[in-house]
Amino acid sequence: MDVFESLTELAAARLRASALAPFVQPFWDRLSEQRYSSGTACQYMNCVAHFAHWSRRRRFALQSLDQHIVAFVDEHLPRCTCAAPVQRSRNQVRAALRHLVAVINASGVQQDHHLGGAIDEQVQRFDDHLLHAKGLAGSTRLRRTAIVRVLLSMTSNATTPSSEELRRFLAQELSRVSAASGGVTATAVRSYLRFRAFEGDRVDHLLPVVASPAHWRLAPLPQTLTPDEVNRLLAAFPADLPSRLRCYALVRCLIDLGLRSSEAIALELDDIDWVAGTVRISRSKSRRADVLPLPQLTGAAIADYVRSERPQTMSRRIFVRHVAPVDAPVAADVVRRAVRQAYRRAGLPHTRVHILRHTLASRLLNTGGTLKEVADVLRHRELDTSLIYAKVDFARLGAVAMPWPGSRP
C-alpha cells in the first residue's frame, strides 16, 4: 500500500520534503511486521512527520539523529507551536523515533552516539569493567553507572572528581535518600574510584571521603504475608482481568519459586522439563544455572497461560507482550504492576514485589526447613545472606529464648 495515502495531506507533505522520505516505507513495514495496529502505526507516522518538519529548520544529518531526537523531545515538544496535526506526547514520540532509529541503522547509516562526550565514554568503560572484571548483574551495573553519571556531571574533568566535588556530590545525594539507598550510593562511588585506580589514577586520598551512612542491614524484620494473605492475593485475579493468566502465572512464580522479577521474565520454554517436573533458572543474579522442583500449581498456571493466552510468537520466552511488538518479552515493570494491582484488589497495603520472596523463605522455615535449605531455594551464594530470615523462625526462636528477668521460672 502507498503509506503516504494513509496520512493526512500535511503529514505526507512534511515527510516527502524531508531527508526521512526514503525510510517511510521501511518504517511502516517494520510496524506491520511487529503487528502494530493500523491506528497506532498512523500515530507513530505522525510523530515522525512532526520530527521531520522540525528537523528541516536545522542542519540535519542522519549520522547525528540521536542528538536531534534528544533536542526534539526535551526542548521542542514542551513548547511546541507547530501547526496541527502533530503528536506532542513525549512517550509516544520517543517510542516512534526508536523505531525510526532502528530502520535507519538497518539501512547502513552509522549513528554518532557521542552525545555525552567524555562522560558517556567514561561510564561505558566503567560498565565494561563491572561486567568483565567484576561479573556484576545487569541491574547492579545499571544502578551504579546511573549514580556515577550524576557524579561525573558535577566534576570539572569528567573522569575523577576532586575532594570538594566528591563531598558536594555525597552531601547532595545522601540528603535526599534513605540510609539504605545512601549505602548503595557510597558503594557505587567507591567502586568507581577503585576502577579509576585500576586505570592508573591516584585516588587514595578520595576513598576516606566516601563514608556510608549508618545502616544495620539485619535490624528490621523482613516483610512477609500470612497464609491467609497469600490466599487472598492468589484469589485476586478475576475472569475479566486483562492478561489474567499471565499475571497469575507470574505471581505464582514469585510466591512458589521465590523468583526475582528479572528471573521470572527471563524464563524460556526450554527451561521447563515437564516430564521431570523441574525448572531451570539460568539468568539469575548469581550468574549461574540452578534447577528447582516445579510445584504442580505453578506448572499448571504456566501451562494455562501458554495454551490459552500467550500470543503466537517466535520468542522462546514464556512471558511475552500481548500488544505490539508481541515478539518481545515483557519487562520487569509488567511484573511489578501485576503484583501491585493484585495487592490492591486483595485489599493488602503492600507494594513491594520482594515481599513474596520473603514469604517463601518464612514458609519454608515455618514448615521445618533450615536456613541452608532457604539459601538453596532462594539461590543465595552465601549463607550469611539468608540470616535475616532467622528472625521470622518464631518456633525455633521460642525454643531458645531465655526467661524474662523477674518472671516466674
The residues annotated with a catalytic role in the active site are 260, 285, 354, 357, 380, 389
* Spatial distance between the Cα atoms of 21 and 55, rounded to a whole number of angstroms: 13
Instruction: Evaluate the CA torsion angle 385, 290, 295, 342 in order and state its sign.
Output: positive
* Spatial distance between the Cα atoms of 87 and 104, rounded to a whole number of angstroms: 21
402-407-409 Cα angle (round to 5) = 70
